[in-house]
Structure 1
Amino acid sequence: MTRPLVLGLTGSIGMGKSTVAAMFEGLGVPVFDADREVRRMQGPGGALLQAIEAAFPGTTGAHGVDRPALGARVFGNAAALARLEAIVHPAVRAAREAFLLEHAGAPLVVFDIPLLFEKGGVDEVDKVLVVSAGPEVQRARVLARENMTPERFAEILALQLPDEEKRARADYLIDTGRPLAETESEVRALVEKLKSA
């Protein structure tokens, strides 16, 4: 049975991964967004609410997971984070497999996975695209986010593989520190290359 070429899309926080994923979608490439899937499963009536509430009482309600409350329970607590990941990761993997079946006839699909290298997802993709920008650009983008502090940014970076290591392990690299039109033309060229391969 033939299946699509699976391109893993990753990059550190603030590197423009969501923007690049949207460019792939705009070109008609099916994109599995791991973060979006988690938000759906943790939203109102989501499939993970019961298990999360059992493990972390008081962190869910009518609107789904109370993200700040859950974050406060797991951030900086390795055992609690591992407990949460044991609930979330198998569900995301199953959703990704269903997505792949749904798009089995496509020549190319993208798995948008923020922690592709850190959590071992690299074994589930054929090629890896890393999006990257200079550290000043990254810092400015991240600190412009609501409720972001320099301390929180530093904590998030500490959990992620350094950008230079991601770049070294990439099959393809797109610099998102340039004008959007340049990034878009790079994405378009990569889509054409991968589809023709």
Structure 2
Amino acid sequence: MRIGLTGGIGSGKSEVAAELERCGAFVIDTDEVARAAVAPGSPALAAIAENWPGTVVDGVLDRGALAEAVFEDDAERRKLNGLLHPEIRRIAFARESNAAPGQLIVHVVPLLFESDYARLVDRTVLVVAPPERRIARVMARDGADRDAVQARMRAQIDPERARALADEIIENDADIERLRDRSRDLYRRLAAAPNG
């Protein structure tokens, strides 16, 4: 069974993914795949350099410059996503060949619902957390200020829309052990499902 795991920034999806992996799932993190997709010498990196001059310096992606070039411009962000998402999917699905037969496969996809990735998985799982908790986590983790975190949150899918689209929801509204318990419960349910 192929699972798509998502959640807004600071929701705890990485911790859920780590717990699912400890339970026996094969986890593919598309953020890590995205880094591979724009590795020096890759076709995607060449396309980025051509479309957004100044974002590739000495053959290496300047992530800050690229974010600045596309973050506030929906058309440019869509253009970038249209360029990167097919390559990310290609690499991610190729990595599935490393999973054991019958192993639960979890794709961690920040833009699961915003892209067409959700249609490529059997079940979708959304991790949710209270907004203030998410803001505090991201500020501590990234050293970002409140306004920057809130801007990133606003750029993501509306939380209520994401809830409506998800097959499963994990509430991250307590301590880390509670989140891990909920993740293990989810793993047991998914592994026992007919396609699991």
Partner of 1:76: 72
* Structure 1: distance between partners of 2:109 and 2:184: 20
Partner of 2:20: 24
What SS is found at the alignment partner of 1:117? coil
Please state how far the C-alpha of 1:47 moved relative to its aligned partner.
Answer: 4.8
TM-score by length of 2: 0.88
Please state how far the C-alpha of 1:40 moved relative to its aligned partner.
Answer: 2.1
TM-score by length of 1: 0.87
* Structure 2: distance between partners of 1:156 and 1:138: 11
Partner of 1:54: 50
Aligned pairs (5 A) from 1:157-176: 157-176=153-172
Q: Is 1:10–1:130's contact at 8 Å kept on the other side of the alignment?
A: yes
Measured at CA, do residues 162 and 83 of structure 1 come closer, stay the same or move farther in structure 2, by a change above 3 Å?
closer
Partner of 1:138: 134
Identity %: 35
What SS is found at the alignment partner of 2:142? coil
The counterpart of 2:108, out of the listed 95, 105, 112, is 112
Counterpart AA for 2:145: T
Q: Is 2:33–2:92's contact at 8 Å kept on the other side of the alignment?
A: no
Unaligned runs of 5+ in 1: none
The counterpart of 1:193, out of the listed 186, 189, 193, is 189
Computed over aligned residues only, the root mean square deviation of the Cα atoms, in angstroms, reads: 2.0
Please state how far the C-alpha of 1:102 moved relative to its aligned partner.
Answer: 3.7
* Structure 2: distance between partners of 1:169 and 1:59: 34
The counterpart of 2:90, out of the listed 94, 99, 110, is 94
Please state how far the C-alpha of 1:91 moved relative to its aligned partner.
Answer: 0.2
Please state how far the C-alpha of 1:61 moved relative to its aligned partner.
Answer: 3.0
The counterpart of 1:129, out of the listed 125, 129, 148, is 125
Please state how far the C-alpha of 1:168 moved relative to its aligned partner.
Answer: 3.1
Please state how far the C-alpha of 1:42 moved relative to its aligned partner.
Answer: 2.2
* Structure 1: distance between partners of 2:57 and 2:78: 22
